[in-house]
Amino acid sequence: MLNHTDLVTQIGAIGDIHAEDLLLDLALSFLAKQQPDLLVSVGDIVTGPGNVDRCCELLQSHSVITVAGNHDRWFVNGTMPALPDSTDPTTVSEETKSFLKALPQTYELRSPVGLVLICHGLGTNDMADLKPGDYGYAIDANLELQKLIRSRKYRFVVNGHTHCRMVRHFGDLTVINVGTLRSYAGPGFALIDFESGHVHFFDIETGGKIVKADSMPLNG
């Protein structure tokens, strides 16, 4: 497995998981066949219809670099809101709880064209978001986004949280949202190729068929 000092040219990226263990298995199996340098997940493993233990086992067996989402933080801290499909702590193994507790907020990778930040929201704020329709004041007032832009540290931010996959450019910073595996929210994932300069998005259709949905340029 690569460590954070190695150069990565291509990564497979999983969006918010939300206990969709069956779809996670399909996505990871497909991405593994593409042989990327690394697999990453932007968190929110809990809160959903499936098996959280199996999700964590799959992430570990595929050596997926995983950061914590706000739902994972709520679960670990015992502050989960009363949601219809919140994960019951009594149904989760101690191994899974330890795995979730140990998840970092962010992770950095080196690509041939600049530093990559893996996070859930924006930077260390797992509740910060950026949506496809945000323009003007919504961008100017987005303090976490502006902080990332001004720092000029990262070339790419790979995130989730909104479930809205997109590629948006802000000067030298590109934000790549890899969407979600939520079955009712257009489940899919991404293959990010820093060498060719493209993000390839894939849909998981009903019945488990995986189809290429779109390709977007990494450079604005």
Residue 1 lies in a domain: no
Beta bridge pairs of residue 168: 175
Nearest Cα to Cα of residue 204 among 52, 10, 17, 43: 17
Residue 4 lies in a domain: no
Residue 127 lies in a domain: yes
Distances (CA, A) of 103 to 76, 82, 108, 125: 10, 23, 14, 14
Phi, psi (degrees; rounded to nearest 5) at 34: -80, -10
Q: Where are the alpha helices (DSSP H) in 35-93?
A: 52-61, 70-77
Residue 5 lies in a domain: no
Residue 157 lies in a domain: yes
Residue 3 lies in a domain: no
| Residue 141 buriedness (CB in 10 A; 0-12 / 13-18 / 19+) | exposed
Per-residue pLDDT of the chain (220 residues; tens, 9 = 90+): 444 568 999 999 999 999 999 999 999 999 999 999 999 999 999 999 999 999 999 999 999 999 999 999 999 999 999 999 999 999 999 999 999 999 999 999 999 999 999 999 999 999 999 999 999 999 999 999 999 999 999 999 999 999 999 999 999 999 999 999 999 999 999 999 999 999 999 999 999 999 999 999 998 7
In whole angstroms, give the CA distance from residue 84 to residue 57. Answer: 24
In whole angstroms, give the CA distance from residue 196 to residue 193. Answer: 6
Residue 136 lies in a domain: yes
Domain count, the chain: 1
Q: The CATH number of the domain where 38 resides is what?
A: 3.60.21.10
